[in-house]
């Protein structure tokens, strides 16, 4: 028969085995002893938890990636959009994360949703689409400020997708097309202005030198002479006519002599 001391030793061994807890590198254990929290979290590694005197709550220190479901947001210019985002945060103080809030994951999710709606409701649609980095930083600052008493550090908030109504998508597309046409007309006008300016300068230079005008005229003839199937009518400069006239007068004088 099993003696009473052996039974006692077996029970003690089982109790000690049950009291041994192993925490991973990224885990900490918040210990409540007779209902009072111990000042320092335990872990990582091997720790002893003595039930029913002690109760341990495991807390992970890894970064939590929390998806914020799409939120209905009415912007400052009365446009209804759906916006979803993602929040990156981690527990910095396990004791605060357990005793300051009932469920820090649920509380952070709800805070992120309400903050997303309130912040984006104060901006116009153009700012929402063009200044995401600024709004992400603003969201991160506000959420981090409210979660700091819970021992949570919000590291990053990123808006993932902005779902626009169909009529707003068409309006934005028309606006973008009009902007592209405006830029094209401005570029074309600038090109015409620069070309006119260069031509004016070239005309001023040629006008001061008749030989340059004749060379330009001959160059133009050379260019159009490549078109064999075309009939070309071009004016003859007066300077060339004067040259022929001068040559005829010299011939007449020689004949009279």
The pLDDT tens digits for 162-195 are 888 787 767 777 777 787 888 888 898 888 888 8
Could you say which of 14, 43, 60 is where a domain stops? Answer: 60
> What's the confidence (pLDDT) of residue 8?
87
Question: Stretch 56-84: mean pLDDT, rounded?
Answer: 93
> What's the confidence (pLDDT) of residue 175?
74
CATH of the domain at 111: 3.30.479.30
> What's the confidence (pLDDT) of residue 178?
82
pLDDT tens per residue, range 234-246 = 565 555 555 555 5
pTM of the shown model: 0.67
Within a domain: residue 189?
A: no
Backbone angles phi, psi at 191, to 5 degrees: -65, -45
Contact 128, 81 (CB under 8 A): yes
Strand order across the 152-163 sheet: 64-74, 80-91, 152-163
Are residues 89 and 126 located together in one domain of the fold? yes
Are residues 48 and 69 located together in one domain of the fold? no
Within a domain: residue 152?
A: yes
Could you say which of 133, 164, 195 is where a domain stops? Answer: 164
Overall number of domains in the chain: 2
Within a domain: residue 227?
A: no
Are residues 56 and 73 located together in one domain of the fold? no
Are residues 71 and 141 located together in one domain of the fold? yes
CA dihedral 96, 119, 110, 104 (to 10 degrees): -10
Q: How many residues does the chain have?
A: 257
- Look up the domain containing 20 and give its range: 4-60
CA distance 247 to 257: 16
Within a domain: residue 146?
A: yes
Could you say which of 139, 164, 189 is where a domain stops? Answer: 164
Are residues 87 and 142 located together in one domain of the fold? yes
């Amino acid at each position: 028969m099993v003696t009473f001391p052996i039974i006692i030793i077996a029970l003690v061994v089982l109790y000690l085995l049950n009291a041994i807890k192993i925490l991973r590198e990224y885990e900490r254990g918040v210990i409540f002893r007779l209902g009072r929290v111990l000042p320092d979290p335990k872990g990582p590694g091997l720790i002893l938890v003595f039930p029913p005197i002690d109760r341990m709550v495991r807390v992970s220190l890894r970064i939590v990636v929390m998806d914020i479901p799409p939120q209905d947001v009415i912007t400052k210019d009365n446009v209804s959009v759906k916006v979803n985002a993602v929040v990156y945060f981690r527990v910095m103080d396990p004791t605060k994360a357990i005793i300051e809030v009932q469920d820090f994951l649920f509380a952070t999710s709800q805070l992120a949703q309400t903050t997303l709606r309130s912040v984006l409701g104060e901006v116009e649609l153009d700012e929402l689409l063009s200044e995401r980095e600024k709004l992400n930083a603003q969201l991160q600052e506000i959420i981090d400020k409210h979660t700091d008493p819970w021992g949570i550090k919000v590291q990053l908030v990123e808006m993932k997708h902005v779902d626009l109504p169909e009529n707003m998508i068409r309006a934005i597309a028309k606006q973008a097309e009009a902007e592209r046409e405006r830029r094209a007309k401005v570029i074309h006008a600038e090109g015409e202005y620069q070309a006119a300016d260069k031509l004016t300068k070239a005309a001023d230079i040629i006008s001061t030198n008749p030989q340059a005008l004749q060379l330009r005229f001959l160059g133009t003839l050379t260019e159009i002479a490549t078109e064999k199937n075309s009939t070309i009518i071009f004016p003859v400069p007066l300077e060339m006519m004067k040259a022929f006239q001068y040559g005829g007068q010299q011939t007449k004088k020689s004949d009279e002599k």
